[in-house]
Amino acid sequence: MIQRTPFADTFTYVLMALGFVLLIGPFIVILAGASQTLQQVNSVPFRFVPQDHLLENAAAAWSRASLGTAMMNSLIMASLVTVGKVALSACTAFAIVFFRTPLKHFFFWMVFITLMLPLEVRVVPTYAVAADLFQPFRLLIAALTGIEVSVEWNLLNSYAGLTLPLIATATGTFLYRQFFMTLPDELAEAARMDGSGPARFFFDMLLPLSRTNMLALTTIMFVYGWNQYLWPLLMITDPAYKTTMMSLVALLPSENGTPDWNVTLAGSLIIMAPPLIVVAVLQRWFIRGLVATEK
Amino acid sequence: MADIDIRAVHKSYGKTKTLHGVDLSFASGEFVVILGPSGCGKSTLLRMIAGLEEITAGEIAINGRIVNTLEPRERGCAMVFQNYALYPHMTVAGNIGYALKVAGVPKAERDRRIEETAKIVGLSDYLTRRPAALSGGQRQRVAMARAIIREPKVFLFDEPLSNLDAKLRVTMRAEIRKLHQRLSATSVFVTHDQVEAMTLADKLVVMNKGHVEQVGQPLDIYHRPASVFVASFIGSPAMNLFETRVETGAATVRFGGAQVPIDGALAAQLRGKDIIVGIRPEQCVVVQPGNGVSAKVDFVEELGSGRVVHAEIDGQPFAAVIGEEMRVRPGDRISLELPPSQLHVFDRDSGRRIEFEAVPRAPQNAAEAPVLAIVE
Ligand SMILES: Nc1ncnc2c1ncn2[C@@H]1O[C@H](COP(=O)(O)OP(=O)(O)O)[C@@H](O)[C@H]1O
Ligand SMILES: [Mg+2]
């Protein structure tokens, strides 16, 4: 802040307090509700004080929504998406920044344009391809030669189907690109003089140097992968591949059954935990990676 | 040890031409300095030798082998960059040893050679530090060690001292020279600093606007600049230059309302021609009023050993070095004699030097010996 006046100070504090309450409020409701008994959670008025029944509620939620499989699936999916995105965007940015090819700008803009086409927008064609991978080729071959090829291959009900369409990422590419562009040209040239080829340069120089970026990206992308809902809903019909977001609905009390919201809340707390842990562990890197480049 | 041949080398970036046909040849073990103002294409030339920049036309041969299409690592050159370009995430040892690591040298031997090289440049105590924890001079040494350890045939330096403070620059200059004697690899050193160039070079290459202006030993170039550009670029304070013409029937040229005598044979050769005449400030002699060319003093620069008088003749700035015993104040008028044997004559159209053999170039006695004014 440039100015320091009592009025401005008070105003900022009120604003911050308001924002804090807005953000933390729902979380306190979950925490309090998840640790109360059936009677406590349904009592009016609702008491915002946590009790000591969290573990039994959590156990009930775990079995009701079979969270074991779902958590494992979500973990696999989020990890694959994260690793895939981090790796792919590093490679893409490497190609865009460090190679002189005539089509460089074309590819850069292609990547840029995909920012305007998130999965939600292209979900129907993406699903069509995932459901029948050879469809485009079959059409092409049929048009060219008149031969009908009947190969069936789809990605439905598989980890590949869950993750592959989510891996291409413009955000990550940009983050890396910005970082790579801050590196002096001489760094690459010195490495070349020392005999290192492009691959060695990538692994020996770029990856270690972009560690903070990578961790920042990991944080964002893990949360993104974990929170996916629409895509798993389309791709997965087999309960063995269900993800946590799909299991949320199973946690709700049935319409005429007992209103055991404490169990529901305990379940959502479990589902919330992994991204929270990732953010908590990586937050230091996360902020550094987004704010400034390491000296 | 390797000789380098540069034949008719051109460089264009798209439509802009940066080098217009450079022909040079460096002998094995020579210390070559490429000197020129910023933007003249020195770095471009150096980077083409290194293999970091494509050669638009012409060819470069190292040890007789044309290297145009070779990768940098296949050329046997090592390079020291202006901003050092150290690997920030590696220790000093890691930086120095990276080339060996890439080359697959076993760890034990690598460590031994890192130790050895670090000792040469005086970095033995800093091997585990990161570059960020080093001073400018130490970073410079790491950059040099990184080049030395590869035992290259050719050392390339791109303004390696320009980020150091004046004192350190002098020290490092001496160290680079010593290192060169010890390693006896061919060295090509790029700089825009004439003092650096003069003190380091066996062979000096002066470049301007993508052309080579002159090649030779530093003192030869100082005494016989081949063009107006070289004359004004080398020497500090810079050579005085004035435009004039040789009148028919006289062995003098007009300057500042006076007739300056020139060599008779030269006058006969240049009759009626537009020329540029130059004289170094150190060679001007202060004489009794009424003789020579009259000049009005603008200001005086103290050098300690003498002083530089910045004066005005005919509205043009003109500098002269005078002894410390002389008292001059701004506004004074002094008379200067320009000895004919110390004049440099250039063609006004081409800017090239006009040679005349009659003039003895060797100074008659030590007092008159032209000294390089080395000013940092
Ligand atoms: N990559 C490049 N693209 C376009 N022009 C360049 C490039 N590199 C250098 N130049 C131009 O070439 C000229 C010579 O540059 P350089 O060799 O770096 O000069 P210097 O003598 O200062 O080292 C400059 O005018 C510069 O603008
Ligand atoms: Mg340069």
Residue A183 contacts B where some CB pair is shorter than 8 Å? no
- Asked if A189's CB is within 8 angstroms of B73's CB, the reply is no
Q: Is the pLDDT of residue A294 over 70?
A: no
Residues of A in contact with B89 (CB under 8 A): 205, 208-209
Q: Is the pLDDT of residue A2 over 70?
A: no
Q: Is the pLDDT of residue B373 over 60?
A: no
Mean pLDDT of A102-106: 86
B12 beta partners: B17
Measured from the CB, is residue B208 less than 6 Å from ligand 1? no
- The pLDDT value given to residue B2: 86
Q: Can you tell me the distance from the alpha carbon of B266 to that of B355, in angstroms, rounded to the nearest whole number?
A: 9
Identify the band that residue A3 occupies on the pLDDT scale cut at 50, 70 and 90: low
Q: How many CA atoms lie within 13 A of A240 on its CB side?
A: 4
Classify domain B237-374 by CATH number. 2.40.50.140
Mean pLDDT of B318-333: 87
Could you give the residue range(s) of every CATH 1.10.3720.10 domain in chain A? 77-245
Q: Which one has a higher pLDDT value, B232 or B363?
A: B232
- Residue that has been written with the tokens 């944080």 in this structure: A219
Per residue in B193-250, pLDDT (tens digit) is 999 999 999 999 999 999 999 999 999 999 999 999 999 999 888 999 999 888 777 7
- The pLDDT value given to residue B357: 56
The CATH label, of 3.40.50.620, 3.40.50.300, 3.40.50.2000, 3.10.250.10, for the domain at B4-232 is: 3.40.50.300
Q: What share of chain B is helix, strand, coil (3-state, %, to 5)?
A: 30, 30, 40
Q: Is the pLDDT of residue B77 over 80?
A: yes
- Asked if B88's CB is within 8 angstroms of A295's CB, the reply is yes
Mean pLDDT of B175-200: 92
Residue B85 contacts A where some CB pair is shorter than 8 Å? yes
Residue B78 contacts A where some CB pair is shorter than 8 Å? yes
CATH superfamily name and code, A77-245: MetI-like (1.10.3720.10)
Residue B319 contacts A where some CB pair is shorter than 8 Å? no
- The pLDDT value given to residue A291: 65
- The pLDDT value given to residue B290: 81
Q: Is the pLDDT of residue B80 over 80?
A: yes
Per residue in B298-321, pLDDT (tens digit) is 999 988 778 899 999 888 899 999
DSSP string, B247-293: PTT-SEEEETTEEEE--HHHHHHHTT-EEEEEE-GGG-EEE-TTSSE
- The pLDDT value given to residue A132: 83
Residue A204 contacts B where some CB pair is shorter than 8 Å? yes
Identify the band that residue A148 occupies on the pLDDT scale cut at 50, 70 and 90: confident
Neighbour-count burial of B370, counting CB atoms closer than 10 A to its CB (0-12 exposed, 13-18 middle, 19+ buried): middle
Nearest CA in chain B to A209: B89
Per residue in A152-203, pLDDT (tens digit) is 788 888 899 889 888 888 888 988 999 999 999 999 999 999 999 999 999 9
Categorise residue B76: left if φ over 0, alpha if ψ from -120 to 50, beta otherwise.
Answer: left
- The pLDDT value given to residue B375: 38
- Asked if B103's CB is within 8 angstroms of A196's CB, the reply is no
> How many other CB atoms sit within 10 Å of the CB of residue A158?
15
Predicted-complex ipTM score: 0.83
Per-domain residue ranges for chain B? 4-232, 237-374
**What is the CA B159 to chain-centroid distance, rounded?**
11
Q: Is the pLDDT of residue B359 over 70?
A: no
Per residue in A14-73, pLDDT (tens digit) is 999 999 999 999 889 898 988 888 888 888 888 888 888 889 989 988 988 888 999 999
Between helix A211-226 and helix A159-167 the angle, nearest 10°, is 130
Contacts of B292 (CB under 8 A, 6+ apart): B258, B285, B335, B336, B337, B338
What does pTM read for this prediction? 0.83
Measured from the CB, is residue B207 less than 6 Å from ligand 1? no
| Mean pLDDT score of chain A | 87
- Residue that has been written with the tokens 């100070």 in this structure: A9
Q: Evaluate whether B312 touches B293 at the Cβ level (below 8 Å).
A: no
Mean pLDDT of B88-99: 95
Measured from the CB, is residue B122 less than 6 Å from ligand 1? no
- Asked if A295's CB is within 8 angstroms of B83's CB, the reply is no
Question: Could you tell which of B43, B156, B157 is best to mutate to test the pocket of ligand 1, judged by most ligand atoms within 8 Å of the CB?
Answer: B43
**What is the CA B263 to chain-centroid distance, rounded?**
30
